[in-house]
Amino acid sequence: MTTFAIKIRLNRPLWPPLIAVLALATRIWGEPGLSQPHLNPQPRSAEETARIATARAAPKDFTFSEPFEDRPAGAATVPYNSGDNAFSHPAENLENRLDFELGRALFEKLWVASPSSTRASDGLGPLYNTRSCSNCHINDGRGHAPDGPDDTALSFAVKLAVPAASDARMAAIEDYLATAPEPAYGSQIQDFAAPGHAPEARIRVKYGQRRIDLIGGEASLRIPQLTLDDLAYGPLDNAVMISPRVAPPLLGLGLIEAIPAEDILALADPEDRDGDGISGRANIVWSVEYAQPMLGRFGYKAAEPTVRQQAASAFQTDLGISTPVFSDPWGDCSPAQTTCRKAQHGDADIRGYEADATTLDLVTLYSANLGVPARRNVDDPHVLRGKQIFHQAGCPACHQPKFVTHRLPDRPEHSFQLIWPYSDFLLHDMGDGLADPRPEARATGREWRTAPLWGVGLAQQISERAGFLHDGRARTLLEAILWHGGEAQAAQSHIRSLPVKDRHSLLSFLESL
């Protein structure tokens, strides 16, 4: 691992991140590296390590595109199309298309409450946010925030937690922030309910405005103000911590899962020993499936370790559907919601769970193999100039352009691919403007996982209302940039000071991703 990490880290001093990696791994398991028990990777040869170092090196000449830059998911990249289904195609190198389409059908299926004659589709709720996965992940892309207090909150969720004294499972993890579900409402507000039950609350968002001066003009940022009206199960706990979220896009999740953990950890510099102002940290989370701590990769705070656990968590909290991973038939209903817990559920038949292992596996396969569209205009001079500005502003310090996935004999569609997600998958302090009070595992309220940028230029082609950032407050990519603070403040300030032409070039680059 040490030799590999030394070779791949080309744009920052190496020894502080490596010390942090080794120290973190030693604290958790007593030996370097983080376990990935769901994979069966082959070790890399010295020749492969050298090839990877060359492929991942930062560009020095911005007058032409890099090799394979137009194929952000490697052999899994799908041809670009201009429709709103551009994110919904199977990875180009996926052979198991039949199971993918079965997974799509389950992802789009409308679940119904129990009791029902449609036994294979019952078990919804009783409290829930949506009847279908695809209702939130619109066309497999991102959701949107309500545009105002009278708009619906579909594809928008409100997470809840209260502080907890400790979590014995994670006692060995330094800086772990223990939380528990809110006593009356659980871990998420469910704003829909089956007949005979009351929705937990009505979610409302209104916005203030903040003007930002730019060279050659100004921008207006929306400042969201969230309220929960008509609370049906009593007042919220005084210590409640609230975090609103829009549904994230589902691009390339299986490839992200296939990135070696040590490659992500090699980018961490939690003490900022190199003095560049960037101090990414790994989130370490509990794996329910493997009963051990694992590197978090998915979600706005990297709180989920695998695609399968992420899918199971969404079944539980968004739909109130039980799975082999989260088996409570009442979903996210709290112990205080006795009517919900005593209701008839959909797990009393041959399935055993409302979404059995086969269903969960098929939805996982579908989610893990949605193709990333090919880049557009990679050799356009404005795009290349924008890419240069992206690097000059220091954006790759967090939005790491490239990785090479594990060599995986059991998952050839994800195996040994040069991919361009533009994320380090680490936590970064993004400042007061984006902070909320709710931590997740090691992530504080100010820390967020670096958002992958692949496909970001197509977000509003997929869904014209798609918003950016964790709560969808940003309506444009420029607004998203202007919300960056904390560790990203220097990059944001650099971009604010750009001449209009250069700012447009930067946006052209982002729109090409």
Q: What tokens appear for 82 in the block?
A: 């201009």
In the prediction, which pLDDT does 114 show?
86
In the prediction, which pLDDT does 12 show?
38
Per the model's pLDDT, the better-predicted residue between 401 and 349 turns out to be 401
Per the model's pLDDT, the better-predicted residue between 163 and 274 turns out to be 163
**pLDDT digit string (tens) for 44-103?**
999 999 999 999 999 999 999 999 999 999 999 999 999 999 999 999 999 999 999 999
- Return the H-helix or E-strand segment holding 180: strand 179-180
pLDDT at 349 over 90: no
Mean pLDDT, residues 321-332 taken together: 95
Q: What tokens appear for 134 in the block?
A: 């695809």
Number of other CB atoms surrounding residue 511 within 10 Å: 18
Name the band, by pLDDT with cuts 50, 70 and 90, for residue 9: very low
| Residue 9 identity (one-letter amino acid) | R
In the prediction, which pLDDT does 174 show?
84
Q: What percent of the chain has pLDDT over 70?
A: 92
Mean pLDDT, residues 25-42 taken together: 63
Q: Tell me the CA end-to-end span of the chain in Å, nearest whole number.
A: 31
pTM score of the predicted model: 0.92
In the prediction, which pLDDT does 35 show?
81
Written in H, E and C, the secondary structure of 313-349 is: HHHHHHHCCCCCCCCCCCCCCCCCCHHHHHCCCCCCC
pLDDT at 27 over 90: no
> Any idea where the domains of the chain sit in the sequence?
47-259+277-513
Q: Which of 114-118, 140-144, 502-506 has the lowest mean pLDDT?
A: 114-118
Residues across the chain: 513
- Count Cα neighbours of 388 within 13 Å in the Cβ-side half-sphere: 16
**pLDDT digit string (tens) for 204-242?**
999 999 999 999 889 999 999 999 999 999 999 999 999
CB contact at 8 A, 468 and 484: no
CA distance 51 to 73: 18
Alpha-carbon Rg for the chain in angstroms: 22
CB contact at 8 A, 152 and 213: no
pLDDT at 261 over 90: yes
CA distance 427 to 439: 12
CA distance 45 to 273: 30
In the prediction, which pLDDT does 22 show?
39
In the prediction, which pLDDT does 121 show?
82
In the prediction, which pLDDT does 117 show?
67
Q: Using DSSP, state whether 194 is helix, strand or coil.
A: coil
| Residue 25 identity (one-letter amino acid) | A
Q: Using DSSP, state whether 354 is helix, strand or coil.
A: coil
Q: Using DSSP, state whether 383 is helix, strand or coil.
A: helix
In the prediction, which pLDDT does 350 show?
66
The residue to which tokens 């979903």 are assigned: 331
